Amino acid sequence: MGKRIYLWLFLLLCAAFVAWKLYTNKKQLASETQLSEVSRAFVPVEVVHPQLETLSNHLEADGIFLPAKEMFVISETAGHVLEVYKNKGDWVKEGDLIAKVDDEVLRIELEATQANLAKLHKDQERLTNLIEGDAAPKNKIEDVQLGILAAEAKEKGLKKQIANTSIKAPMTGTLGLRFIERGSVIGPGIQVAQITNLEKLFLMVKVTEHDVLYVRKGQSVSVVADVYPGVTIPGKVTNIGLRADNAFTYDIEIEVVNPDKTPLRAGMHAQASFTFNTNRKGLTLPRKAIAGSLQDAKVYIVNDSIAELHTVTLGGTFGEKVEIISGVRESDRVVVTGQLNLSDKARVQVVSAN
């Protein structure tokens, strides 16, 4: 019996010791965590200012192809669709019949108008004979002539309405979309189809306010599509944006002829290469200032000891420097070392600035 009491006492002492040790370790761990948080309240970083430098006479800009010609086919009439003659994916020429809308009521009204017009012409002929024989006053024929003019105008209007019931292609291209079927009911202003012509494409790219001054309308440009990395397509600048967007970049429109051997589609990505007669200027940053990949480039900008993550658009690469098309200004302080320890809105301490 006495041995059991001693055994229980020993076990209780062991349990108490373990509980005390766990409590001590937990308290120490909490103290170390708090000390770590205090020591890391400010992350030391080095910052640089973007530099406006003279770059080479070569500029590359990424963009997306858009169709040079694209148009919605809009209904100008109302009624039931009797027949649809073209399907999605069909090649149509300008003037080809796409669909036919019921025109029976309009044709009946046209026949009545033409019959009334024939009667008015006969009335005019009889009144003319009577007036020449002094059997009727001259003012009687004026009412008939006005009636003829009104009937002729109505006839023209009805013929135009009947012509509108034959919905035709307004341009040459591929019927990319079709929104009606046989038996559909449509009205004026309803979209019937969409025609896209990809014989020519526009590559839309953006350049900075510094670069846009060197671009000229009619300038030759080399274009390489992402889907054909080894194929160069000749292009020509057809339009230069007159107003900058919110990122202070300008739209450049480049026209290319869609090659038969390497066909392109709207929405594909490509890179345009410009060559200028003189060197140009642009903002640059050290390549190591870029957080993440060059395809999804971001930088940390320090404002009042807070590092804010900003998305930037990159231009060309020049050794250890990259051109910044948009996203930063010359006055910004950009983190160049210490990004691995940063997150958006982190508190930092600038230890070196250039």
Give the start-to-end residue ranges of the domains of the chain: 43-55+281-353, 59-68+198-275, 103-164
Sign of CA dihedral 319, 323, 327, 329: positive
Sign of CA dihedral 212, 214, 219, 220: negative
Tell me the C-alpha distance between 66 and 250, whole Å. 17
138, 60 Cβ separation under 8 angstroms: no
Looking at CATH, the fold of the domain delimited by 59-68+198-275 is given as Elongation Factor Tu (Ef-tu); domain 3 (2.40.30)
> Which CATH code of 1.10.287.470, 1.20.1540.10, 3.30.420.10, 2.30.42.10 fits the domain covering 103-164?
1.10.287.470
CA-atom Rg of the chain in angstroms: 39
- Its pTM surpasses 0.75: no
Looking at CATH, the fold of the domain delimited by 43-55+281-353 is given as 2.40.420
Structure tokens at 209: 């306010």
Q: What is the pLDDT along the chain (354 residues), one digit of tens a residue?
A: 555 666 666 666 666 666 766 677 666 666 555 544 444 568 899 999 999 888 777 888 899 999 999 999 999 999 999 999 999 999 999 999 999 999 999 999 999 999 999 999 998 888 887 776 666 666 677 888 888 999 999 999 999 999 999 999 999 999 999 999 999 999 999 999 999 999 999 999 998 887 888 899 999 999 999 999 989 999 999 999 999 888 788 999 999 999 999 999 999 999 999 988 777 778 899 989 998 777 788 999 999 889 999 999 887 777 788 888 888 999 999 999 888 888 899 998 888 766
323, 316 Cβ separation under 8 angstroms: yes
